[in-house]
Chains A and B, each alone.
Chain A
């Protein structure tokens, strides 16, 4: 099948990136601030400097991990019809953005802290929107003990959407206990550990500290998740000029090396553990020092890491979909919008970002709708097409003849709906850049969803058990 993809590296550049990554992991290694994870790697062939907390990973370990890693995985959902199968054949799945600091109040527009009820609303709206495939708890909830917020967010999300949940690693200080509770909740939903492994209702985003560093809590939690069968999404946030070299090549290399290292960790902990290669790497804005998701280089880097992941046969998350600008709507210029949206064409299987505002510092219900509708149009570029004797329609060409028209031939009538995409004219205003003209419509969509949309509730018994797990967690750790 033919599908549009953006390509940046040619074949020998891919090879070079791979070789240099091996060199990097072997000679420089990665810093892992966890004695237990270091030991695990040492027992499996890594060269550890315990004093510096650095693990040098030899080529054999990388190859071993690549061999063991599953090439296709399933992200489960409470509603099995909404399960996501990776890799995709056409356009990627998208999710909301995640764990912003605060949100825009729907009525007043003011920025404020979010509560569990707010998160529930976001989940419900995301649940109602077709173009959204998964839900990353979009905002940090503040009406809970801070160290338990991740578990609360997972739990609230699971109750208010039947789509797959992207979870986040818990607090850096109590990584493993937090992971254990999130896994317990997952098992509650799935019914058993075995079922969770088959169709994990949530996956976990595990960010690496570029360059090449794994924090204690995250590394240990990652191991825990791998063993439980929860897919680990090893997101490299290499920021050119800040946490990776300013060269595009250097940033690609760093993202690739970090992903390979993370893969080695999950596959060593649990051979065959589902693992998603991921990067949301770009350059920093050289004037402000802030991460720049509108940079021209962002889609280039995304395409490159997408190619590397494809080379390895790994499921991947190497793109993002969300305007995420300084105000609600689309205040960005065309080129800037294009830069971030084109990352969805990197061959990625999954993208996050819908609903975020101001570089994912905040979020808004209307923005989830805006991003979803922009996506619905844009993803049409990535439909798949059959290129075969059947679609060449040789006989039809013969029948129509030189210089004549196909318009009246039945072949056209029979096939045009399959081949041609029809944009929804009503949604055209969502395609305005440097504009917020679509926000009014988006607000109406949100209101309707909150009022009318119904999410299948979880069994009361299970809700009680989940609440209990969290209560005990908070007590045990005096959170």
Chain B
């Protein structure tokens, strides 16, 4: 099942409008090197204003070069993820939170490498988590090096795919690539088996910061999939109209795609959006706005039109300062509807405090909720065989199928059975499931082991980081 929002001609209109926007308004790119690169590919560049206007031909060419299928690799190949999906999306944890409540005491503290290691390990233990974002900021390391530390710690504590959330600079990107290459056996191997991907956000509307865009180019050249997240906040960084927001998302994604495909033709690229209208009372991003699934569905439709892998939804029930399901039914339903947008990926599990925090209990709660929500997206065969007219004939008018062997033979395949225990957790506007979630988290953290990296590799990585810190200090 999928949610649809735009009509076909509305999709066309958004595409045309995006081309117009990129051609007439263009994007602002605060990087001379990237502007030069775009100019070389046919963009009209104003170096003084730092604006690149992109012609339709360049966009069409980039769409042609972009791979339609990509694979997120993992240290353990059984956790490889093939994108696009046929049924429900792959899910990941929250990213780059800055604090976390202690699992024993509940006390909130600024996150450290150890917290990141533990939280990642919990994500690795939970079946419902398919890949890991670098979930917490390492505040106990030199600030400039935090991205590199986070990717290193995360890679050690999960055998699943890792998606970094830090794009600080070209140099930093190269460091992250080096670290990941250590694990797979070299840069060429990493290009073939990217065990990391990276989130890179434009500054809406239509602007790219120096550090992030130069990092993005480095990653693209290394074959690391770019997840180019447009955060178009209606009423703030995009027009308050849904049409305006959707168009901005589309423009930023197309522009970002062009940058990747010019830097490295064939670079894996994920069309991405985490866009909401702002809360009109506080000006803050509003993760429970009813418009979110509509924007997500529209973004998903545009991505599908282009044949691009996409991430246009999040998953998680972040309700406030502590773990629990503080959303009301319709707020959580909005989240469920968002993942029905045709998205291939959805991240956000375990987040609290509007993504500023992570919580072990919340990760378990979000994982268990997910198990039931994703069931709506199983795929079914609609064929002559499953329509089973011959069985209908055998049963006859007004009779029952209950005793026909067809029912007994097929019901397990066809129907979904709720895990009643997990179902009992799904109380909205409630904290009642938190103690049980805590038990599960504690047990998993105690028992679960992640295949460690080779000692040698760990040493090399640690040294790499030390040298990098020295480099940054000078």
Contact = CB atoms under 8 A, between A and B. Distances in A.
A337 B238 CA distance: 34
A336 B325 CA distance: 16
Contact of B410 (A246, A394, A407, A422): A246
A341 B372 CA distance: 15
Contacts of B25: 397-398, 402
A386 interface: yes
A385 B330 contact: no
Contact of A432 (B10, B382, B430): B430
A296 interface: yes
Nearest to A28: B393
A16 B28 contact: no
Given A247-B414, A423-B290, A300 B380 contact: yes
Contacts of A3: 5
A249 B397 contact: no
Contacts of A289: 402
A432 B329 contact: yes
Interface in B347-404: 369, 372-373, 375-376, 378, 380-384, 386-389, 391-393, 395-402
> Secondary structure at chain B's binding surface: helix, strand, loop or mixed?
mixed
B213 to A, nearest CB: 13
A334 B384 contact: no
A252 B386 CA distance: 10
Interface size range on B against A = 35 or more
Nearest to A335: B372
B34 to A, nearest CB: 14
Given A345-B3, A396-B244, A13 B382 contact: yes
A34 interface: no
Nearest to B404: A245
A134 interface: no
A24 interface: yes
Interface string A288-317: 010000011101100100000000000000
B243 A388 contact: yes
Interface in A398-426: 398, 400-407, 411-412, 415-416, 419-423
B139 interface: no
Contacts of A428: 328, 429
Contacts of A70: none
Contact of A431 (B291, B330, B387): B330
B399 A211 contact: yes
Interface in B400-430: 400-402, 406-407, 410-411, 414-418, 423-430
A177 interface: no
A333 B423 contact: yes
B10 A300 contact: no
Nearest to B395: A211
Given A392-B17, A416-B280, A333 B426 contact: yes
Given A211-B399, A248-B380, A334-B329, A380 B290 contact: yes
A394 B381 CA distance: 44
B239 A406 contact: yes
B387 A16 contact: yes
A397 B21 contact: yes
A297 B332 CA distance: 19
A419 B21 contact: no
B277 interface: yes
A338 B336 contact: yes
Interface in B4-18: 4-7, 10, 13-14, 17
Nearest to A239: B401
Interface of B: 1-7, 10, 13-14, 17, 20-21, 24-25, 27-28, 51, 203-207, 234-244, 246-248, 277-278, 280, 283, 289-291, 293-294, 297-298, 325, 327-334, 336-337, 340, 369, 372-373, 375-376, 378, 380-384, 386-389, 391-393, 395-402, 406-407, 410-411, 414-418, 423-430, 432
Closest 10 CB pairs of A and B: A431-B328, A403-B207, A434-B427, A402-B28, A31-B397, A391-B243, A333-B426, A213-B398, A334-B426, A335-B372
14 contacts: A213-B397, A245-B386, A334-B426, A338-B336, A386-B243, A397-B244, A402-B25, A402-B206, A404-B205, A419-B242, A419-B291, A420-B280, A423-B328, A432-B429
